[in-house]
Each structure stands twice: as C-alpha cells, then as structure tokens.
Amino acid sequence: MKLTLHIWRQADRNSPGRLVTYQLDGVSPDMSFLEMLDLLNEQLASSGQEPVAFDHDCREGICGMCSLVINGVPHGPLKGTTTCQLHMRHFKDGDSIYIEPFRAKAFPVIRDLVVDRSAFDRVIEAGGYISTNTGSAPEANTVPVPKEEADTALDAATCIGCGACVAACPNASAMLFVAAKVAHFAHLPHGQPERHRRVLRMVQEMDRQGFGNCSNFEECEAACPKEIPVRFIAEMNRDYLRALCSRAADEV
C-alpha cells in the first residue's frame, strides 16, 4: 500500500505546530497503525530527519497510551478499537490519512502527537481509591457482592483512561472517564464508606483541571475504545447531587 500521511508536527508545547505531508510506500495491510508509523520513522531516521513522536506502550489495547486522532476520529474509524489495534487493512491503497494529537485544553501538546494527560492522574489522586489500613483489609472473596453489581462495576472498570472521550467531546468534557472511575467503586461494598466524598472530590478536581461540561452529545461513548456507556454519567450526577445534599444537611 502507498499512503499520503498528513501528520501534526510540533516541537514543544510553546511552539506553533503544523501538518506535514509524507509519502509512505510498502505498507502491509497486516500492519497495525502504530507499526505503520514505525515504518515511517525508520525511513525518516535513515534519511537524517526527525522521527514523529507518538505515545505507545503495550500495543495490546490495554494501556490507553496510543492517543491519536485519525481522520478526525479519536483512535480511528473502527468502533471499539484502540489505535494500536487498528490495522491498515481498514484503509485503502492511495488513501490520505490525517493524524493529529488529542485536542483539549487539559491535554496540552508535549511534542508532535504526544499530549500531557496527567490531568487524569490528578483527578484519580483526588478520590479514585479506597482507604484501608495496610495489613488489616479482609480477604476480598469474603465480602459478598451481587453478580449484577459486580458485572456493572467491571463494565466501568474497563476504562483504560486513554482520553478519547475528552478528544471526541465538543466541550472536551471528562465526564465519561470520571463517571467510570466513580461507578467502579460505587457498585462495590468496598467503595461505600467514601462514596460521597469520592464523587465530590473527583468532580471538583475535574473542573479545576479545565475539562468542559457534559452537554449530552454522547460522542464520548461513540469514541470510547471500550464502549463504556453514558449511563454511568447519569449515575455519577445522581451521586453528586446526593453528596451535595448530604454535605448541606451535615452543615445545618
């Protein structure tokens, strides 16, 4: 396959960026999208040019590092698929492909296609955990969890924190990410003691990090490689309102 690649190049977060066009030949349909970029970088390096910087790690659709916008769609045109699991057989010989970083105020570009997603880390640090004294936690299997609740918690826990929901949202909202992390604990008995404090802290930190508000476009669910449903956002909103009411009652 021969492809025309239009790739965003940016030296650092303070430098202006632009799309640079590359012609790439010899692409196998069996290559993953990242392997195709590897091939491009090998050719750039061999000709003395600067390779394209992009994030990657496991390349198994697990870690969420492969954060690229491909032809205007986070992770590309294939539904429920990360960039690293997208294969070139889903493109045609002679195609033009536009490759850009995730676009959001809270995700500043570090270099080329790499963005800083540490805002997600700060949201998790605000409350995405349970507190227990080391060494005194009971064996998890001794705590009964109804299957329906366990299944729902696992559905939420599939979030890999890639940020596609933010990149797809017209408002750059992180509501689906935060809602998934909140729901993960909200449906388990281990998460109940800190349930109200958790949702208040995580939502407030999300706002502090500069993410936008949800306006129910549902682009987040469409772009999510793990197909996490937006119903978790509704659950989080209910939990958030209950937490506010509970805090107000405690202050009276």
Same domain, 234 and 149: yes
Mean pLDDT of 9-34: 97
Residues 243 and 122 in one domain: yes
Domain, as residue range, for 22: 3-111
Of 111, 129, 148, which one is at a domain's C-terminal end? Answer: 111
Q: CB-based contacts of 18: which residues, under 8 Å, 6+ apart? A: 8, 9, 10
Q: What is the average pLDDT value for the chain, to the nearest integer?
A: 95
**22: number of Cβ within 10 Å:** 16
CATH value at residue 187: 1.10.1060.10
pLDDT for the residue 229: 96
The answer on 229 and 150 residing in a single domain is yes
Do residues 242 and 122 share a domain?
yes
User: Do residues 150 and 102 both lie within one domain?
Assistant: no
In three-state secondary structure terms, 161 is coil
One-letter amino acid at 190 equals H
214-225: per-residue pLDDT in tens?
A: 999 999 999 999
Whole-angstrom Cα distance, residue 65 to residue 74? Answer: 12
Distance CA 98, CA 75 (A): 12
φ/ψ region of 188 (left if φ > 0, alpha if ψ in -120 to 50, else beta) reads beta
Number of domains in the chain: 2
Q: Are both 178 and 77 inside the same structural domain?
A: no
